[in-house]
C-alpha cells in the first residue's frame, strides 16, 4: 500500500513549467528561434518599401525616403523590440505559454484539478463550489474573453496570409531577372508552398534544425547588402532622428503611409505566441543580436539606394537594390535564400497557429481536435493535423484569389494591426489585475502603445474595401465559433457538475431509513489507506437505488417541490464497467445515474475513471493508475489515469484490475480477500466503457416581451448548432478503445 501512496504523491509533482535552458543549451535554443519565430518579420524587407511607395506611383523625394525609413526603424523599436521582446515576454502563463489567449488565462486562470477530490465518490457535498473573483473581474470577464478570442482568431487568420504574402513577394523576384515568367508567379508560389504543409508532422525541433541555418544566412545577407548600400549614401543615418518620421506625415499629409509601414513588423505577434516553445531569454538574445540589427541595416540600405537610383529601383525595391548585375550570381543567391526564408516565415506563423489552437482547445474554447505532440521535452511543440490542412487549403485559395500583390498586403496588414491592438489592451489589464502593479502603469501602457497601435489600425481599416475584408471575415468566423463554443460548453459543464450525485445518496445497501435527512449527514469517505473490517455475513444486504428527482436530494435550487425519491431493487451482474468522468468534481457523474435508471442492474466491479494529462512525455507503468476504494459500498472504485502528453489514450482495464486486486489484498489479507480478488478477476474478463452523450436542450427563459425571440435564438444556438458540433467533435475521438466496448448513455441536458 505504501508504494501506491508514493506513486500518487509523485504524480502530483508533475507540473508543466516554462522551458529552461542555460549555457550552450540556451544558445542552441536561441539559434532555433531564428528558424521558427523570426522569418516572418525577417522577410518584411521584401515588400515594405514598395508597400509605402508602389511601383505604379512617383519616385519619393529624399526627405520622404528618410522620413519613411525613420518611421520603419522606430516602429520596429517600439512594437517588436519594446512591446513584445522586452515587455510581453514577462506575461506568459505559468506553463510558459504566450499570446493573447495566454494573457486572458493569466487574468482568469482555469481551475486546477484536484484529483484526490475527484476520486471522492461520497461525502458531505458534491456541488460545484462557487468561484471567487472581484466584481471587476466578474463584470469584465465576457467582454475581455470576446476581445481576446477576436485577437486570437485574427492571429490564426494571420497564419493564412503570412505564407501567401511572403512567398508571393519572394517569387516576384523572378520577374526582375526574367520578365517573361512574370505571369507564372502565382503558380510558382503555390509549388513552393505545398511542401511546407507536408513537413509539419515532423515537428518543430526537426524543422528548426533545417531552417535555422538558412534563416541565419538570410539575416547576414540582409545586413551585408544593407551595409553596402548605406556606403552609397551615408546621409540615410538621419533616419534615426524620430522627428524625420513625424515630419513625413506633417509635410505630405499621407496617413495611408502607415498601412505600408506596419508591414515592417508583421510577425511580431509570433514572438509572443511562440513563447511556449522556447523561453524569453533565448528569444531576446536572437532578436537583439541578430534580427533587429539586420533589419535596421536592410531598411537603411534600401532607403539609401532608393535615394541614389530613384526610378531605376522603384519597380521592385528589394531585388533592384541587390549589389551587382540583375542576373548576376549574388542576385540569384539572394533570390534562393529569399524563397527559403519566406518558406520559413510561413513556418513561423503555422507553428504559432498550432500553439494558439492548443491553448483554446485546452481552455474548452474550441471543439476538441486531435493534438500530436512532437517533442519529448517541450509540451508546447504540437502539431494539429486538422488545422494544418485547413491552413493549406486557405493559403492556396488566397494566393490564387489575390492576383494583385498590393491587395494581398492590404489584407495582411489589417490582421497584424488588429492583433497588436488587442494585445496592448490585455497587457495593460494583466499588469493591474495579475501583476498588481499600480493602475497608472497599466493605463499608461495602454495609452502609449494603444495610441501607436490605434494609428496603424486606423490606416489598415481604410483598406477593408481593398482586400482587408478577407482576414476580417476569417477572423470573424473563427471568433464566432470560439465564443459560441465557450458559452455552450460552459453551460454543459455546469449542468454536469450540478448533477453529480453522492454515491451513498443514490445506491443503498439494506433498508432505507425512515428519516430522509440522513442524506445530508453522510460522512463516509474513501481512500486506499484505510482498512475495512471484513464482513462476517457471507450474504451481503441487498442493494437498492433511488428513482425520482436527485437534485432535490442534493438541495439544489430547482425542483424542490418534486416528490420524494422511491426505492427500487437493483440486481448485481458479474461484469466490470468503467464510467468515464469528463469534468472534475466530487461524486459520481450523471452518466452513472442515467445508466442505472435505463438498465437497473449494477456491475460487480464499478470503476469511475478520470484522465490526467501530465506535462511529461511518457509515464512509467507504475505511475499509470491511482486507485481508491469506496469503503461504504462493496465493488466501487475510483481511479485516475495518468497520461504523458506524447502518449495515446489507451485505457487497459486489466491494469486497473491489477491495482484493484493489490489494493484489496493490502486492505484485508485473509481468505475472504482472496475470494474477493478471485471474483473480481473473473468478472473483469468482460468490461464495458460507459461515457455520457448529452443531448442538450435550451432552457426556457422569461424575458418579458422578447421571451419568444430570445428563446428561439437560444434554441437555435444550443440545440441546432452546438448539439451538431458536439456530435461531430466528440471528446472520445482520441480513444483507442474498440467502439463495441463503449456504451454512450444518452442524457437530456437542459442548459
8 A C-beta contact, residue 247 and residue 67: yes
Nearest alpha-carbon partner for 606 in 529, 490, 526? 526
Q: Could you tell me which residues are beta bridge partners of residue 579?
A: 608, 690
Per the document, the length of the chain is 751
Give the residue with greater pLDDT, 86 vs 133.
Answer: 86
The pLDDT tens digits for 273-319 are: 777 667 788 889 999 999 999 999 999 999 999 999 988 888 889 98
Nearest alpha-carbon partner for 698 in 708, 688, 687, 685? 708
The pLDDT of residue 231 is 95
Residue corresponding to grid cell 457535498:
125
Q: Is the pLDDT of residue 217 over 90?
A: yes
DSSP H helical ranges for 402-438: 405-433
Q: What is the mean pLDDT of the chain?
A: 79
SS (H, E, C) 193-262: HHHHHHCHHHCHHHHHHHHHHHHHHHHHHHHHHHHHHHCCCHHHHHHHCHHHHHHHHHHHCCCCHHHHHH
pLDDT category of residue 643 using cuts at 50, 70 and 90: confident
Q: How far is CA 619 from the centre of its chain?
A: 23
The pLDDT of residue 533 is 38
Residue corresponding to grid cell 509523485:
10
CA distance 308 to 351: 40
* 495: its cell numbers: 449542468
CA distance 472 to 713: 24
Least confident of 229-233, 251-255, 302-306: 251-255
The pLDDT of residue 12 is 43
Give the residue with greater pLDDT, 703 vs 628.
Answer: 628
Residue corresponding to grid cell 460487480:
604
8 A C-beta contact, residue 11 and residue 316: no
CA distance 625 to 658: 10
The pLDDT of residue 632 is 77
Nearest alpha-carbon partner for 150 in 471, 364, 468? 471
The pLDDT tens digits for 475-486 are: 889 989 999 999
Q: Is the pLDDT of residue 114 over 60?
A: yes
Q: Is the pLDDT of residue 644 over 80?
A: no
Mean pLDDT of 636-646: 83
CA distance 189 to 172: 9
Domain limits, the chain: 30-108+142-485, 499-528+540-750
8 A C-beta contact, residue 302 and residue 49: yes
Q: How far is CA 508 from the centre of its chain?
A: 44
The pLDDT tens digits for 663-684 are: 888 876 677 788 888 889 998 8
The pLDDT of residue 748 is 82
Nearest 5 degrees, angle CA 17-CA 21-CA 22?
Answer: 145
Nearest alpha-carbon partner for 399 in 191, 189, 198, 196? 189
pTM as predicted: 0.78
Q: Is the pLDDT of residue 539 over 60?
A: no
Mean pLDDT of 161-170: 78
* 444: its cell numbers: 499608461
Q: How far is CA 333 from the centre of its chain?
A: 38
Q: What are the residues whose beta carbons fall under 8 Å from the beta carbon of 560, sequence distance 6 or more?
A: 552
pLDDT category of residue 224 using cuts at 50, 70 and 90: very high
What percentage of the chain has pLDDT greater than the value 90?
Answer: 19
Q: Is the pLDDT of residue 469 over 90?
A: no
The pLDDT of residue 378 is 60
* 408: its cell numbers: 494581398
Q: Could you tell me the CA-to-CA distances from 59 to 53, 62, 169, 240, 300 in Å, in that order?
A: 8, 9, 21, 22, 17
Q: CA-based Rg of the chain, rounded to a whole angstrom?
A: 31
Q: Is the pLDDT of residue 647 over 90?
A: no
CA distance 389 to 385: 6
Q: What is the DSSP letter of 333?
A: H
The pLDDT tens digits for 332-373 are: 899 889 888 887 777 767 777 887 788 788 788 888 888 787
Say how many Å lie between the first and final Cα of the chain, rounded.
Answer: 43
The pLDDT of residue 669 is 65
Least confident of 201-205, 456-460, 666-670: 201-205
Q: What is the CATH number of domain 30-108+142-485?
A: 1.20.1740.10
The pLDDT of residue 618 is 77
8 A C-beta contact, residue 159 and residue 347: no
CA distance 349 to 196: 12
CA distance 418 to 146: 14
**Farthest-apart Cα atoms in the chain, separation:** 103
Q: How far is CA 740 from the centre of its chain?
A: 32
Amino acid at each position: 500500500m505504501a508504494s501506491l501512496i508514493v506513486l500518487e504523491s509523485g504524480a502530483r509533482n508533475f507540473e508543466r513549467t516554462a522551458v529552461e535552458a542555460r549555457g550552450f543549451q540556451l544558445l542552441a535554443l536561441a539559434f532555433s528561434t531564428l528558424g521558427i519565430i523570426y522569418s516572418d518579420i525577417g522577410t518584411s524587407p521584401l515588400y515594405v518599401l514598395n508597400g509605402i511607395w508602389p511601383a505604379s506611383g512617383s519616385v519619393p523625394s529624399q526627405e520622404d525616403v528618410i522620413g519613411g525609413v525613420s518611421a520603419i526603424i522606430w516602429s520596429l523599436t517600439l512594437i517588436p523590440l519594446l512591446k513584445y521582446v522586452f515587455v510581453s515576454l514577462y506575461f506568459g502563463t505559468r506553463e510558459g505559454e504566450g499570446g493573447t489567449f495566454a494573457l486572458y488565462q493569466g487574468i482568469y486562470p482555469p481551475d486546477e484539478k484536484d484529483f484526490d477530490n475527484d476520486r471522492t465518490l461520497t461525502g458531505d457535498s458534491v456541488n460545484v463550489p462557487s468561484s471567487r473573483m472581484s466584481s471587476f473581474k466578474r463584470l469584465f470577464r465576457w467582454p475581455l474573453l470576446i476581445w481576446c478570442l477576436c485577437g486570437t482568431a485574427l492571429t490564426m487568420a494571420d497564419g493564412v496570409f503570412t505564407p501567401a504574402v511572403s512567398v508571393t513577394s519572394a517569387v516576384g523576384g523572378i520577374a526582375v531577372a526574367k520578365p517573361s515568367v512574370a505571369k507564372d508567379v502565382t503558380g510558382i508560389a503555390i509549388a513552393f508552398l505545398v511542401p511546407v504543409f507536408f513537413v509539419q508532422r515532423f515537428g518543430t525541433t526537426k524543422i528548426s534544425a533545417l531552417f535555422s541555418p538558412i534563416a541565419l544566412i538570410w539575416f547576414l545577407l540582409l545586413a551585408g547588402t544593407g551595409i553596402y548600400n548605406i556606403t552609397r549614401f551615408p546621409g540615410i543615418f538621419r533616419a534615426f532622428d524620430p522627428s524625420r518620421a513625424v515630419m513625413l506625415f506633417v509635410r505630405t499629409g499621407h496617413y495611408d503611409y502607415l498601412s505600408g509601414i506596419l508591414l515592417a513588423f508583421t510577425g511580431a505577434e509570433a514572438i509572443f505566441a511562440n513563447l511556449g516553445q522556447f523561453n524569453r531569454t533565448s528569444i531576446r538574445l536572437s532578436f537583439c543580436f541578430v534580427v533587429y540589427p539586420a533589419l535596421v541595416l536592410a531598411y537603411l540600405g534600401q532607403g539609401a539606394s532608393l535615394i541614389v537610383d530613384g526610378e531605376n529601383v522603384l519597380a521592385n525595391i528589394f531585388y533592384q537594390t541587390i549589389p551587382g548585375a540583375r542576373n548576376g550570381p549574388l542576385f540569384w543567391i539572394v533570390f534562393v535564400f529569399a524563397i527559403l526564408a519566406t518558406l520559413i516565415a510561413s513556418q513561423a506563423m503555422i507553428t504559432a497557429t498550432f500553439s494558439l489552437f492548443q491553448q483554446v482547445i485546452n481552455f474548452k474554447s474550441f471543439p476538441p481536435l486531435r493534438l500530436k505532440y512532437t517533442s519529448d521535452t517541450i509540451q508546447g511543440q504540437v502539431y494539429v493535423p486538422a488545422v494544418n490542412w485547413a491552413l493549406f487549403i486557405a493559403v492556396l485559395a488566397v494566393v490564387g484569389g489575390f492576383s494583385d500583390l498590393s491587395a494581398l498586403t492590404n489584407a495582411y496588414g489589417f490582421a497584424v494591426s488588429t492583433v497588436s491592438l488587442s494585445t496592448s489592451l490585455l497587457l495593460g489589464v494583466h499588469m493591474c489585475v495579475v501583476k498588481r502593479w499600480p493602475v497608472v502603469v497599466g493605463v499608461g501602457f495602454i495609452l502609449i502603445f494603444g495610441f501607436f497601435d490605434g494609428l496603424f489600425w486606423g490606416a489598415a481599416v481604410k483598406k477593408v474595401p481593398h482586400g482587408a475584408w478577407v482576414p476580417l471575415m476569417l477572423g470573424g468566423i473563427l471568433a464566432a465559433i470560439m465564443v459560441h463554443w465557450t458559452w455552450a460548453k460552459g453551460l454543459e459543464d455546469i449542468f454536469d457538475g450540478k448533477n453529480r450525485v453522492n454515491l451513498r445518496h443514490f445506491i443503498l445497501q439494506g433498508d432505507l431509513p425512515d428519516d430522509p435527512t440522513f442524506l445530508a449527514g453522510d460522512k463516509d469517505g474513501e481512500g486506499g489507506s484505510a482498512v475495512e473490517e471484513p464482513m462476517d455475513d457471507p450474504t451481503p444486504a441487498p442493494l437498492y437505488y433511488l428513482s425520482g428527482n436527485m437534485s432535490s436530494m442534493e438541495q439544489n435550487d430547482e425542483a424542490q417541490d418534486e416528490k420524494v425519491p422511491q426505492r427500487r431493487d437493483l440486481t448485481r451482474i458479474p461484469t466490470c464497467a468503467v464510467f468515464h468522468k469528463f469534468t472534475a468534481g466530487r461524486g459520481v457523474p450523471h452518466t452513472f445515474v442515467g445508466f442505472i435508471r435505463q438498465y437497473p442492474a449494477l456491475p460487480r466491479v464499478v470503476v469511475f475513471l478520470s484522465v490526467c494529462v501530465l506535462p511529461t512525455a511518457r509515464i512509467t507503468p507504475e505511475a499509470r493508475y491511482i486507485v481508491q476504494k469506496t469503503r461504504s459500498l462493496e465493488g466501487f472504485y475510483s481511479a485516475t489515469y495518468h497520461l504523458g502528453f506524447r502518449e495515446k489514450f489507451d485505457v487497459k482495464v486489466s491494469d486497473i484490475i491489477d491495482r484493484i486486486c493489490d489494493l484489496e489484498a493490502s486492505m484485508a489479507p485473509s481468505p475472504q480477500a482472496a475470494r474477493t480478488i478471485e471474483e473480481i478477476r473473473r468478472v473483469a474478463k468482460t468490461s464495458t466503457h460507459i461515457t455520457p452523450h448529452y443531448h442538450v436542450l435550451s432552457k426556457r427563459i422569461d424575458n418579458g416581451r422578447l421571451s419568444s425571440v430570445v428563446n428561439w435564438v437560444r434554441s437555435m444556438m444550443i440545440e441546432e448548432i452546438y448539439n451538431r458540433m458536439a456530435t461531430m467533435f466528440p471528446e472520445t475521438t482520441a480513444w483507442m478503445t474498440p467502439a463495441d466496448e463503449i456504451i454512450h448513455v444518452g442524457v437530456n441536458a437542459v442548459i
